């Protein structure tokens, strides 16, 4: 009888060794999530509108962000007008902005104007933005370096 009881135990041990372990190894999952986090942290600043313009420098604070992607109109140094990255003629600007305003919940728009543009051109574009349905116009500038003489 003792040999039967011992043999039964041995069988159980053998069968328990052959069964897969039902534990989740979390280490590879954490490693992958950390790598993805680093990738997104590096890539996020690169997702801004990439039209090169020389922005004027001011000491104003940055505006708070919304849930929607910010809409940006850019005036380049050579006088071209762009909505996001799409070039638009001045004649079509109000029509396109009206269509965009109908689809958006926010009336906020950002205006990026190269410093080489005369103020008259910038003011006319601001009037077009208002006529297109955007009354909350933010002027985009670079942050000025502190003046050592002050």
pLDDT of residue 63: 60
Distance CA 98, CA 134 (A): 8
pTM beyond 0.85: no
pLDDT of residue 139: 84
**Could you give the count of Cα atoms lying within 13 Å of 66 in the half-sphere of its Cβ?**
13
CA distances from 95 to 9, 16, 112 (A): 84, 74, 20
Architecture of domain 53-143: 2-Layer Sandwich (3.30)
Parse the chain into domains and list their residue ranges.
Answer: 2-46, 53-143
DSSP string over the chain: -HHHHHHHHHHHHHHHHHSPP-----HHHHHHHHHHHHHHHHHGGGGS------PPEE-PPPPPP-SSPPPEEEE-TTS-EEETTEEE-HHHHHHHHHHHHHH-S--EEEEEE-TTS-HHHHHHHHHHHHHTT--EEEE--EEPPPPTT-
- Whether residue 85 contacts residue 48, with contact meaning beta carbons closer than 8 Å, is answered with no
User: Regarding beta strands 86-88 and 136-139, do their DSSP bridges make them parallel or antiparallel, or are they unpaired?
Assistant: unpaired
Instruction: Please report, in tens digits, the pLDDT of each residue of the chain (150 residues total).
Output: 555 555 544 444 445 567 777 788 888 889 999 999 999 888 877 766 566 777 777 777 766 655 667 788 998 888 889 988 888 888 888 999 899 888 888 888 899 888 888 888 888 889 998 888 888 888 887 776 666 555
pLDDT of residue 12: 47
- Whether residue 87 contacts residue 80, with contact meaning beta carbons closer than 8 Å, is answered with yes
């Amino acid at each position: 009888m003792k040999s039967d009881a011992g043999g039964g135990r041995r069988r159980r041990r053998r069968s328990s060794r052959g069964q897969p372990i039902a534990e989740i190894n979390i280490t590879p999952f954490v490693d992958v999530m950390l790598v993805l986090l680093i990738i997104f942290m590096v890539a996020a600043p690169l997702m801004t509108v990439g039209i090169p313009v020389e922005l004027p420098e001011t000491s104003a604070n940055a505006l708070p962000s919304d849930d929607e992607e910010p809409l940006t109109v850019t005036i380049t140094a050579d006088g071209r007008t762009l909505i996001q990255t799409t070039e638009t003629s001045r004649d079509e600007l109000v029509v396109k902005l009206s269509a965009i305003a109908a689809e958006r919940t926010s009336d906020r728009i950002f205006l990026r104007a190269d410093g080489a543009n005369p103020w008259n051109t910038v003011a006319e574009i601001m009037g077009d933005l208002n006529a297109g349905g955007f009354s909350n116009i933010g002027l985009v500038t670079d942050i000025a370096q502190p003046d050592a003489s002050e």
